[in-house]
Amino acid sequence: LRTQVAIVGAGPAGLILSHLLADAGIESIIIDQRSREEIESTIRAGILEQGTVDLLSAIDPHTRVHTVGHRHDGIELRFQGEGHRIDFPGLVGRSVWLYPQHEVLKDMLALRLSAGQDLRFGVTASSVDGIDTDRPRVLATTETGEQLVIDADFVVGADGSRSVVRPAITGDARNGYFREYPFAWFGILCEAPPSADELIYSNSENGFALISQRSPEVQRMYFQCDPDADPNAMSEAEIWETLQARVPGTTLQEGPIFQRDVLRFRSFVAQELRGGRAALVGDAAHTVPPTGAKGMNLAVADVVLLARALDDLLTRGDERLIDGYAETASSRIWKAQHFSWWMTSMLHVQPGADAFDRRRQLGELRSVVESEAGRTYLAEAYTGWPLA
C-alpha cells in the first residue's frame, strides 16, 4: 500500500487528523487493531473544551455536540460540605460541553467513511521503520493473518498509551517523563436522573468524588479508590454509601449501576514527540490523570498543530513547522500536565496525609475559590487555552 500519511490509530486524534489532512488535499490511510463496534462503544472521557467544540463545529456544522451534548457554564468545587461554583463564561468568556468521547468517535467515523477515507479495522501494526528516510513504512497484520506494508511519506502514531509507533521514535516505549499516583478512580454508569446541573468535584475527608453525567437518564460518577481495587468486590449499596459520604451536603439520585471500572492514574510525556518522518499525538505522546478532563482535548490540540506542519512539509516542502512540532506541542502538553496534576493533588486525599497536609490542602482550595485570580486560572485551563 502507498499513501502520503500512514496514521496508526482511529481514535479522536487519528480521525480528526485524517479530516484536516484531507481538507488540505493530503491523503492518508488509518489502521486500528480494534473493530468499529469496539471503538464506538468504549466508555471514555466526557468533557470537550470550547476549542474542541469549535473545531468539531467547523468540521461538521450539524455536529450532534449541539443537539445531544450539553453546554456547561461552570463546575462546582465542593469541600468541607460547601459548594463553590466556578463561573466559566463570567471569568473567561468560554464554556465546555458534556459530550462523551464515543459519540465524537461515532460522528467522526461516519464522516470519514462517507468521505471515502481508507480506514482499516482489525489491522494491528507490528513495527515502523525507515523514519530517518523519506519513505517510512508501517508493518501490520490483518485479522486473517495477512501481512500489510504501508509505504508513506510520514507516519503518525495516534495509537494510544501502548503505542507501537512510539518506540520507533524514542528508542524504548518507556523513555519519557513519568509520575505515578497512589490512587485510582472507581467509575460507574448508572440509570438515574442527574444529581446536579453541573459537575461536582468534591474533596472530602473520605477521599475525592466526581459527580458527572451522560444524559438525562444516565449518570457517570467516580470516587477515589486503591489502584488495586477489584471493581466487582463492592455491592451497589456499598458503592452508593461510599459516593454519598464523599459529597457531603448533596443528596445523590441513586439508580441501578450497569457499568463499573477502575481507572489507574498516570502522568507521562514521551521523551521525543517526533523523529524524522514520524510523530506522536494524543495518548501515544502523553497521558494525564483524568481530573480536569484534559486527555482527549490535548489530543485534538496536537493534531491541529501536526496537520498544519504536515501540510507545509508535504505540500510545500517547508520543514519549519514540523521541525518545531515537538517544542510547540510541548508547551501546551506541559501546561495540561501541570493542570491535571494540580487538580488531582488539590482534590484527592493522599494516603498517609497528616493533619498538616489536610489543612494545607483546604488552604489551597480556599485560595482558589475565594480569589478571582484563582478561579480565573482554573476556568482558563479547564475550558482550554486557545488552539493554535
Catalytic residue list: 72, 201, 290, 294, 382
CA distance 40 to 11: 9
- 45 touches ligand DHB by CB under 6 A: yes
By beta-carbon proximity to ligand DHB, the closer residue of 3 and 95 is: 95
- 220 touches ligand DHB by CB under 6 A: yes
- 212 touches ligand DHB by CB under 6 A: yes
- 246 touches ligand DHB by CB under 6 A: no
DSSP E strands, the chain: 5-8, 28-32, 47-49, 70-72, 74-79, 82-87, 96-98, 118-121, 124-129, 137-141, 147-151, 154-157, 176-191, 199-202, 209-213, 218-225, 257-270, 274-275, 278-280, 286-287
- 199 touches ligand DHB by CB under 6 A: yes
- 3-state DSSP assignment of residue 64: coil
- 378 touches ligand DHB by CB under 6 A: no
Residue-wise burial string across 289-304, b where 16 or more C-beta atoms lie within 10 A, e elsewhere: bbbbbbbbbbbbbbbb
The residue range among 59-67, 135-143, 149-157, 288-296 that interacts with ligand DHB, by the rule CB under 6 A, is: 288-296
Site residues for ligand DHB, window 60-119 (CB under 6 A)?
none
On whether the CB atoms of residues 75 and 86 are closer than 8 A, the answer is yes
- 168 touches ligand DHB by CB under 6 A: no
CA distance 68 to 101: 12
Cell of 307: 496537520
- 291 touches ligand DHB by CB under 6 A: yes
Among 160, 207, 275, 292, binds ligand DHB (CB under 6 A): 292
The residue range among 41-49, 170-178, 253-261, 280-288 that interacts with ligand DHB, by the rule CB under 6 A, is: 41-49
- 211 touches ligand DHB by CB under 6 A: no
By beta-carbon proximity to ligand DHB, the closer residue of 325 and 382 is: 382
Give the strand pairing for 218-225 and 176-191. antiparallel
Residues in contact with ligand DHB by the rule CB under 6 A: 45-47, 199, 210, 212, 220, 290-293
